[in-house]
Amino acid sequence: MLGHGIDISHHNTKVPYVDIASERLGRTVCMVRGTYGVKPDSKLCAHFSNVRLAGFDHVGIYSFFRPSQNTFDQCTSLYSTVKKTTNYGCKSNDVAPALDIEDDPFGPVEWRTPSPLWVPLIMEVLDGFERDFSTRPWIYISERVFEMLGNPTELLEYPWWLTSIGRPVTNKYKADIRMVQHRVSSWRGLNKQPAFLPKEKLAIDQNIIVGDLPLINQQA
DSSP state of 90: S
CA 19 – CA 31 distance, rounded (Å): 16
Task: Express each pLDDT in 123-134 by its tens digit.
Answer: 999 999 999 999
Binned at pLDDT 50, 70 and 90, residue 195 comes out as very low
> Looking at this protein, which amino acid is placed at residue 199?
K
- pTM of the full predicted structure? 0.92
pLDDT of 219 over the 80 cut: no
Residues 6+ apart with CB under 8 A from 90: none
Residues 6+ positions from 5 with CB-CB distance below 8 Å:
20, 28, 29, 30, 31, 56, 58, 179, 206, 207, 208, 209
Angle between helices 71-85 and 44-54 in degrees, nearest 10: 50
CATH class of 3-209: alpha beta
Summarised one tens digit per residue, pLDDT across range 139-164 is 999 999 999 999 999 999 999 999 98
Least confident of 68-72, 164-168, 171-175: 164-168
Of the pLDDT bands very low, low, confident and very high (cuts 50, 70, 90), residue 220 is very low
